């Protein structure tokens, strides 16, 4: 098994083997180029993004700046969006679904370093994939840790550290992030008290 295969299978691997440092350096340089391109030059941004993160669908928009370790290990579905300072350490697979909203200063982390310093100082590490399913919203400054799946339609409150998987359709927040409740019909904009009041009192 190669070091890259070990990386994807969650086994201990050497992050300095098999061209990995060169691949990370290439991705970091592409990030720098993407971050330097003005928003008005959409075609140039898309050209760099296609090199940095080839597996992205139509309508993906990354505000920038972005910081990826590889980029090629990330997939992002249609109409998904990430705000300022999106950081992804994609030593393992990161799968982001359709219509996902990611707030500013969010991080998705897949590498895991050994706890004991004697092991950690060898440089070896392992990793676990992250999945964010369709129609999720991550508030600002959310950190998603290795091995987590966030179920479809869930909302993660700002500042949360997601250490364990979150079921679909949940409102969750905190450090560590915990499910507060399920999202329901009562959460629809049409059912907000202020919307009802506006509707009743409007003369239009």
Q: Known catalytic residues?
A: 113
- Kindly report the number of other CB atoms within 10 A of residue 159's CB atom: 16
Q: What is the CA radius of gyration of the chain?
A: 19
Taking CA 183 as the corner, what is the angle to CA 179 and CA 186, rounded to the nearest 5 degrees? Answer: 140
Q: Are 62 and 86 in contact (CB under 8 A)?
A: yes
**Distance (Å, whole) CA 13 – CA 15:** 6
Torsion of CA 155, 161, 167, 171, to 10 degrees: -30
Bridge-based pairing of strands 161-162 and 178-182 is: unpaired
Return the residue matching tokens 């987590």. 148
Quick one: which of 150, 144, 81, 84 has its CA closest to 111?
144
């Amino acid at each position: 098994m190669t070091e890259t295969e070990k990386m994807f299978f969650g086994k201990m691997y050497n992050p300095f083997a098999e061209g990995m440092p060169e691949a990370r350096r290439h991705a970091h340089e592409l990030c720098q180029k993407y971050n330097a391109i003005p928003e008005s030059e959409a075609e140039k941004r898309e050209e760099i993004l296609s090199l940095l993160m080839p597996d992205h669908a139509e309508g993906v928009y990354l505000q920038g700046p972005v910081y990826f370790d590889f980029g090629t290990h990330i997939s992002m579905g249609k109409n998904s969006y990430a705000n300022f300072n999106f950081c992804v350490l994609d030593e393992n697979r990161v799968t982001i679904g359709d219509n996902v909203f990611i707030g500013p200063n969010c991080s998705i982390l897949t590498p895991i370093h050994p706890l004991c310093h004697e092991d950690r100082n060898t440089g070896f590490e392992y990793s676990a994939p992250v999945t964010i399913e369709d129609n999720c919203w991550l508030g600002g400054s959310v950190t998603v840790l290795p091995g987590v799946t966030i179920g479809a339609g869930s909302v993660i409150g700002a500042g949360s550290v997601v250490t364990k998987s979150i079921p679909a359709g949940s409102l969750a927040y905190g450090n560590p992030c915990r499910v507060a409740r399920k999202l329901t019909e009562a959460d629809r904009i049409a059912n907000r008290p202020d919307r009802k009041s506006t509707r009743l009192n409007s003369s239009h």
